[in-house]
A and B are shown apart, each in its own frame.
Chain A
Amino acid sequence: MAFDYEQYLRPGKLPHIWCPGCGHGIVMKGLLRAIDTCGLEKNNTAIVSGIGCASRLPGYVDFNTLHTAHGRAAAFATGIKMAKPEMDVLVVGGDGDGVAIGGNHFIHACRRNIDMTYVLLNNYIYGMTGGQFSPCTPTWAKASTTPYGNPDPIFDVPKLAIGAGATFVARTTAFHATQIDKLIAAGLRHKGMAVIEVLDDCPTAYGRRNKFRSVVDMMKRLKEIAVPVKAAAHMTPEQLEGKVLTGILHQEERPEYCEQYQQVIARAQGA
């Protein structure tokens, strides 16, 4: 039987703001399947976002939803989770929101290993403001503020998350739709900070400037660059040139932040 998305969508809030061909809807559907798979309760789930196209996602879905200020989602989410650890807390947002203006909050949420699931939709660009380069825009790609090509190197989001201390880090793409929910579900089940990067496409603000003739071309690219982490183990550095690893890239057990704080409470109360 087809999955019933409408049970999680707020009546009357569609159509969404995303452009035709944008992959954010694919990710939203994956997110809802993952939430369903894990049996999260609507009343007990908070979905927090910052600012940008991807950050509009919470408005469409029927949970406790918080559309915060640019980059601040992880910090708001930390407050929610600390104050009410029994809630399931998710963050969704884009690349500029998450690792540029929100970079400090992102790495510190990873460091604390607070139990939340952060789905970062990386479409390589600031879409909502019309296509300025982000920390994830490929070097020498075109953006509205890099008319001569982008001189900046990129952030590799999973490496950043792993380096900062996240205990579950995964990556997939909007092309690999059936993997999105599996990885988000694995992140939801993981105790601690889970980061799932979904490489996405922005035909309007990125594709047109960078010689993608169609959305199909952009999807083909996502398909071609993705290499499952297991397959990569058997590939040479030359074969991996220009590729990105997908799947669960890192998973470890480490004390979760709210549980650590319970020990603080126990110590303060003389236990």
Chain B
Amino acid sequence: MAKKVALLQGNEACAYGALYAGCSFFGGYPITPSTEVAEVMSKELPKTGGKFIQMEDEIAAMASILGASLTGAKALTASSGPGISLKQELIGYACIAEIPCVIVNVMRGGPSTGMPTGPSQSDVMQAKWGTHGDHPAIALAPASCQEIFSETVRAFNLAEIYRMPVQVLLDEINGHMRERIEFPEPGDLEVVDRQQATVSPADYKPFDDSQGDIPPLASFGSEYRYHVTGLNKAADGFPTSKPELVDAEQRRQLRKIEANRAAIEKNEEYLIDDAEVIVVAYGTISRSARYAVDVLRKEGIKAGLFRPITLWPFPEQRMAELAGQAKAIVVPEMNLGQLILEVERVTRRVCPIEGIGRVDGEPITPAQIVAKVKEVL
């Protein structure tokens, strides 16, 4: 049977991906260029018995999805620049209290109000380091509308599996761009539901790591009762300042990601095997990069594209391997040099690495990338 197809904006595809994943709660606040996510959710969620709420501010939107998630709901919020800055307080809360949720950031120019309708990729480092304290981070950067749908589904899966907030990084271009999308049928894409507690209510501890680094999260309103706090806590969820317990907890939270990199990382490689120049690009700009690689190949230049879809954790090992075969690496991104810092760090600069930064509200063009590759060779 032919799949259902539609012409959708990226933001709309994101919302439908969330619904496919089983999202039943959206808490939001209006902000350009993310608002279509909220608009679709406000229309579609009540049809499924889910809940949409427009909160009084960005912080409240983030708080509402954490409250909802604690009752067992798969919960989503969407925002951009200034809104994401405001949400950082409670993204940190989600990290320490280990509450699954998905945060969509349709990146726009900044800092501050910046360029609300201009595309940007300047929140890459914020997605990793935005909230205070050491904490794990997962951030996904899809490039097309179809991929926005499927990566949003994956974001929910990762949030539930690793019991933490997951960010989906779109930008004003792929958030608003319309493309043909085929709706996956139920079962086409994996959907992971939250691991349920199996111990008796009397024995349940929300952060009990005796069975592994990711303890099951019981739902409020079930037969399990427990305490949640933003303070450093012991396995039973109650605050502690015992150095050995605090240290163990913080290290466990980072280990959730470090020990599972292979399962979380996802990259696309295009004409990479014999590539002498590797373009590292993500999100919308990876599309310019792919076009540029084709142009360069036609001219006999061995160019290839490495496209991290998972930005955090950064694909350190694969990037380092690729650097070993390359004569040069070019990193185009709509910021003044963010992911390039990771590329430089993990490759130990074994070859020349050049960035192309653009923050004028216009996308990086294939011609810019072609010119830079020729310059570095």
- Shortest C-beta distance, A91 to chain B (Å), equals 11
| Total residues of chain B contacting the partner, CB 8 A | 43
A140: Cβ under 8 A from any B Cβ: no
Check B46 against A79 for contact (C-beta < 8 Å). no
Interface window among A30-38, A69-77, A169-177? A69-77
Closest chain B residue to A66 by CB distance? Answer: B228
User: How far does the alpha carbon of A105 sit from the alpha carbon of B226 in the complex, in Å?
Assistant: 24
Which of A63, A66, A87 is the most central at the interface, judged by chain B CB atoms within 10 Å of its CB? A66
- Shortest C-beta distance, A112 to chain B (Å), equals 9
Check B90 against A69 for contact (C-beta < 8 Å). yes
Interface window among A141-149, A246-254, A263-271? A263-271
User: How far does the alpha carbon of A51 sit from the alpha carbon of B89 in the complex, in Å?
Assistant: 13
- Shortest C-beta distance, B116 to chain A (Å), equals 22
Query: Which A1-25 residues have C-beta < 8 A from chain B?
Result: 10, 13
B347-362 to A contact mask, C-beta < 8 Å, 1/0: 0000000000000000
Contact of A83 among B47, B56, B59, B73 (CB under 8 A): B73
Q: List 20 A-B contacts (CB under 8 A).
A: A10-B227, A46-B221, A63-B225, A64-B221, A66-B228, A72-B90, A75-B59, A76-B66, A76-B67, A80-B71, A83-B68, A83-B72, A83-B75, A87-B220, A105-B56, A105-B60, A108-B60, A261-B46, A264-B52, A269-B49
User: How far does the alpha carbon of A267 sit from the alpha carbon of B47 in the complex, in Å?
Assistant: 8
Check A79 against B223 for contact (C-beta < 8 Å). no
B153: Cβ under 8 A from any A Cβ: no
Check B46 against A265 for contact (C-beta < 8 Å). yes
User: How far does the alpha carbon of A44 sit from the alpha carbon of B221 in the complex, in Å?
Assistant: 5
Check A104 against B221 for contact (C-beta < 8 Å). no
Contacts A69-B89, A75-B63, A78-B60 given; 6 further ones with Cβ under 8 A? A64-B226, A65-B225, A75-B59, A75-B67, A82-B68, A104-B57
Chain B residues, CB < 8 A from A83: 24-25, 51, 67-68, 71-73, 75
A58: Cβ under 8 A from any B Cβ: yes
- Shortest C-beta distance, B86 to chain A (Å), equals 11
Check B59 against A268 for contact (C-beta < 8 Å). no
User: How far does the alpha carbon of A42 sit from the alpha carbon of B223 in the complex, in Å?
Assistant: 9
Closest chain A residue to B65 by CB distance? Answer: A79
Check B231 against A78 for contact (C-beta < 8 Å). no
Chain B residues, CB < 8 A from A78: 53, 55, 60, 63-64, 67
Check A268 against B226 for contact (C-beta < 8 Å). no
Chain B residues, CB < 8 A from A72: 59-60, 63, 89-90
Which of B52, B56, B65, B230 is the most central at the interface, judged by chain A CB atoms within 10 Å of its CB? B56
- Shortest C-beta distance, B209 to chain A (Å), equals 20
Contact of B227 among A58, A75, A82, A267 (CB under 8 A): A58
Check A77 against B67 for contact (C-beta < 8 Å). yes
Check A68 against B51 for contact (C-beta < 8 Å). no
| Total residues of chain A contacting the partner, CB 8 A | 41
A43: Cβ under 8 A from any B Cβ: yes
Closest chain B residue to A61 by CB distance? Answer: B227
User: How far does the alpha carbon of A80 sit from the alpha carbon of B228 in the complex, in Å?
Assistant: 13
Check A76 against B64 for contact (C-beta < 8 Å). yes
Chain B residues, CB < 8 A from A269: 46-47, 49
B80-93 to A contact mask, C-beta < 8 Å, 1/0: 00000000011001
User: How far does the alpha carbon of A168 sit from the alpha carbon of B238 in the complex, in Å?
Assistant: 33
User: How far does the alpha carbon of A111 sit from the alpha carbon of B223 in the complex, in Å?
Assistant: 32
Chain A residues, CB < 8 A from B51: 82-83, 261
Which of B27, B63, B223, B226 is the most central at the interface, judged by chain A CB atoms within 10 Å of its CB? B63
Contact of B221 among A48, A68, A87, A108 (CB under 8 A): A87
User: How far does the alpha carbon of A22 sit from the alpha carbon of B124 in the complex, in Å?
Assistant: 47
B222: Cβ under 8 A from any A Cβ: yes
Check A79 against B93 for contact (C-beta < 8 Å). no
B113: Cβ under 8 A from any A Cβ: no
User: How far does the alpha carbon of A227 sit from the alpha carbon of B275 in the complex, in Å?
Assistant: 83
Which of A44, A105, A269 is the most central at the interface, judged by chain B CB atoms within 10 Å of its CB? A105
9 tightest A-B contacts by CB?
A79-B67, A75-B63, A79-B64, A268-B46, A83-B68, A75-B60, A108-B56, A67-B229, A76-B67
Query: Which B23-40 residues have C-beta < 8 A from chain A?
Result: 24-25, 27
Chain B residues, CB < 8 A from A42: 225
User: How far does the alpha carbon of A14 sit from the alpha carbon of B63 in the complex, in Å?
Assistant: 29
User: How far does the alpha carbon of A84 sit from the alpha carbon of B49 in the complex, in Å?
Assistant: 12
